Amino acid sequence: MLGLPWIDITTILLYFVAVIVIGIYASRRITNQEDYFLGGRRFGKFVQTFAAFGQGTSAESAVGTTVLVARNGMAGIWQNLTSVLGLPIYWITSIWYRRMRLLTLGDFFEDRFNSRGLAALYALISSGFFMLVIGLGFTAMAKTITGITAKPVSALSFEERAVYDRALELEKLENTDSALLTEAEKAQLDRLRIENPRKEFSHIDEKILIWIVAVIVMIYAVMGGLEAAFLTDTLQGIFILILSLFLLPFAAVKINMLTGGSGLQGLVDAARSQLPQVSFEIWGSPALVDFTWYYIIAILIMNQINVAVQANQLTACGSAKDEYTARFGFTTGIYIKRISTLLWGISAFLLVILYSGVVKNPDYLWGHASRDLLGSAGMGLVGLMIACLMSALMSTADALMLTAASLMTHNFFRPLFPRLSERGYVWAGRVFGFLVILGGVAFASWFDNVFQMLKMLWEFNIIMAAAFWLGIKWRGATRIGAWYSMVSALIFFGILQMTVPLIPGVKTHPYLAKTVESIHVERTYRARQIDVEQRGEDIVRWDCLHEAGIVRGERPLPLKVGEFFSKSYDTPKNSIFWNQGLKYDADGNLYGSGLLSLELVVVDLLGFDLSKNPHALNETIRVIIRLSMPFLVLIIVSLLSQPDDKKRLDRFFVKMKTPALADRQADAQEMALSYAQPNRFDYKKMFPNSSWEFEKFEKTDILGMIVFTIGGLVILAVLYGLAQLGVGGV
């Protein structure tokens, strides 16, 4: 059935039954909005840790890491490690959300800026963000499971076989030294890169699979609220850890069996033999255009700024019983994710060794490996892997759905209908949760691949980040400054980039089809077995061209393992302005796909010819513009506008300095004392008599930052060690 044996299908069904039962149990404990959206603020360290891990980890985490490692080698692991050095920052910021003592992060904008309109705008934008996150999880999960249930070549239809053959042609052209390609072949390579034909087809329709999982999430999470989400997150977090470790031993055994090696040394020898040296360059290479050192740094900074403004931060931290539980659970959960990332990266390298010549589209690599490595055991392991993937998706989708639903209910719906009962608002939240999942399904059907969605995800929250960060730490940030910052960013980075392409003629305009110029690069490497085999193919190809009267330079010399050699690369002609690149329609006409990067259009029109830049540099320029503009707008407008009410600011900032206690009555007494003495904690200010509200670090702050800084450096040291293992010797 669907390419799976019954034992695997039974495993999947048992998992579905378990999460639905949890949803029914949790639904009986809901009496008000706080119960539904924040679980009554009664969770301890264990649940908080796995809740943070579950929310921060979805199906795209392991699958996305595999995709980027397959595309970019060791540099691809940075997909989930860009914020590893931000762990000390999480230790500090996680207590903010508990000290806010609010139901949603949208309430922060009303509390700080005295504006229900800003809170409603934040709710709308954040809901769109969570739809994108959920859609990304759906996409990664669906592509992997369809990879598990892939059709053999013999079962392909006539149309599917034609696409498959074009994928093989693309693979052959990309693996050929560019110096040996004719002009016609280079043109065909450019065309096939744009077309990006599939090599994998499945017994399961991706869209149908997405709808099935979406319905299950709706049933248990919409019904059971955050308690159901967090309890299933605990179960699902364990499944995700299994997912992280699952393929490692199977892949390692098969590699050693095929290569005749043994143990860790056998894997190292296989990596050095089967993967080119370029795969172990952490900062990218001429053949790996997605990640360079400057793009990684830009994304690192943007991630640290954007993560803090995600509304699920308050859901994860604000549901803890006290602030220490919030910071311990959240930071530990994120650290577990960083460790898991290393495991995903190691697994990805092993899978690339085994299947790089078999699976063309890296989106399907994890699924193909699961079927090949686990299916032969006949123990329901493939079904368990599918359950793990669904767990990874559902543990994120449920919590984010509820976060978005709480925002829409509390900050958008409630001001419009202020007289409903608590039960009425709970049901409104359920309706909004249903709509958020539908939005996630829509995003999953719109984007082509996991990487496109990841890039948009990294940048989305910059619309709201300036108002949050400056609102938290600068008394000078005004309501009107926040409005200008958020609205201008929303219009320029969101609305216009979605709507301008709808104008007739924009997508097909020749200027907007501009691409970066292909850069011819030669690099020197030490030959490995895969290089020796590739050189043999290049020699055969040169001989064929020579016999046909096409002279392409001197005949390549045979290689021996360990020799130094030069290899030529022609980097892809990536689209400058379209986030989903250029495509061909049914009539063969070229058009731009996805969102239009207007910031790059403006830069190019100002006389900076972006076609001369590497693709990664253009992407870095775009990130810098997106990062800086909202902050500059807020600062300038705030300095030019009337300051906000001082008494309201005093109440807000003294609340943010008052530790949140588990005992509700004791916490209320502390808050009453703080409101009566707004300057109660002024001795904590790092910059006395200024408008900046940075606090001096206490012993707990310093100890936690040291521990997680060391932890982050250990992870980076392991990554560096892995790279050196791959590079060192043959």
Which CATH number is 393's domain given?
A: 1.20.1730.10
Burial class (CB in 10 A: 0-12, 13-18, 19+), 434: middle
Question: Helix H segments across 57-115?
Answer: 59-72, 87-100, 106-113
Domain annotation covers residue 475: no
613 and 567 within one domain: yes
> What is the model's pTM?
0.75
Whether residue 230 is predicted with pLDDT greater than 80 in this model: the reply is no
Domain annotation covers residue 552: yes
667 and 619 within one domain: no
Stretch (H or E) spanning 611:
none
- Taking all residues of the chain, what is their mean pLDDT, rounded to a whole number? 80
Q: What are 22-63's pLDDT values in tens digits?
A: 666 655 555 545 544 444 455 566 666 666 666 666 556 677
Three-state secondary structure call for residue 279: helix
| Residue located via tokens 């690149």 | 581
Whether residue 672 is predicted with pLDDT greater than 90 in this model: the reply is yes
Residue 683, C-beta contacts closer than 8 angstroms, at least 6 positions apart = none
pLDDT value of position 80:
64
Q: How far apart are CA 653 and CA 658, in angstroms?
A: 9
Domain annotation covers residue 433: yes
224 and 104 within one domain: yes
Domain annotation covers residue 160: no
674 and 607 within one domain: no
The share of the chain scoring above pLDDT 90, in percent, equals 22
**Contact indicator for 126, 312 with CB cutoff of 8 Å:** no
Nearest of 444, 368, 578, 422 to residue 139 by alpha carbon: 444
**Contact indicator for 16, 24 with CB cutoff of 8 Å:** no
517 and 432 within one domain: no
| CA angle, 721 then 727 then 728, to 5° | 85
Question: SS3 string of 166-227?
Answer: HHHHHHHHHCCCHHHCCHHHHHHHHHHHHHCCCCCCECCCHHHHHHHHHHHHHHHHHHHHHH
Q: What are 504-559's pLDDT values in tens digits?
A: 999 999 999 999 988 777 777 777 777 787 788 878 877 877 776 766 667 888 88
**Contact indicator for 55, 233 with CB cutoff of 8 Å:** yes
420 and 365 within one domain: yes
Helices and strands counted in the chain (H then E): 28, 4
pLDDT value of position 1:
47
Among 215-229, 468-482, 626-640, 671-685, name the one with the lowest average pLDDT.
Answer: 215-229
pLDDT value of position 730:
44
String of DSSP letters for 1-45: -TT--HHHHHHHHHHHHHHHHHHHHHHTT--SHHHHHHGGG-B-H
Whether residue 470 is predicted with pLDDT greater than 50 in this model: the reply is yes
372 and 261 within one domain: yes
Among 222-236, 404-418, 571-585, name the one with the lowest average pLDDT.
Answer: 222-236
Q: How far apart are CA 431 and CA 420, in angstroms?
A: 15
Residue 63, C-beta contacts closer than 8 angstroms, at least 6 positions apart = 140, 141, 143, 144, 363, 366, 389, 450
Burial class (CB in 10 A: 0-12, 13-18, 19+), 459: buried
The two tokens of residue 249 are 């031993």
The amino acid occupying position 655 is K
Q: Rounded to the nearest 10 degrees, what angle do helices 365-374 and 116-148 cross at?
A: 40
Q: How far apart are CA 367 and CA 192, in angstroms?
A: 24
Region 712-723: mean pLDDT is 86
pLDDT value of position 663:
84
| Residue located via tokens 């963000």 | 129
CA distances from 506 to 167, 287, 499, 510, 578 (A): 29, 31, 10, 9, 11
659 and 616 within one domain: no
Q: How many residues does the chain have?
A: 730
416 and 523 within one domain: no
21 and 109 within one domain: yes
The share of the chain scoring above pLDDT 70, in percent, equals 82
pLDDT value of position 273:
74
String of DSSP letters for 318-381: HTBSSHHHHHHHHHHHHHHHHHHHHHHHHHHHHHHHHHTTT-SSGGGHHHHHHHHHHGGG-SSH
669 and 559 within one domain: no
pLDDT tier at 392, thresholds 50, 70, 90: low
35 and 137 within one domain: yes
| Residue located via tokens 């009962």 | 421
Range of the domain at 245: 6-150+200-460
Please count the structural domains in the chain. Answer: 3
Nearest of 205, 200, 475 to residue 359 by alpha carbon: 200
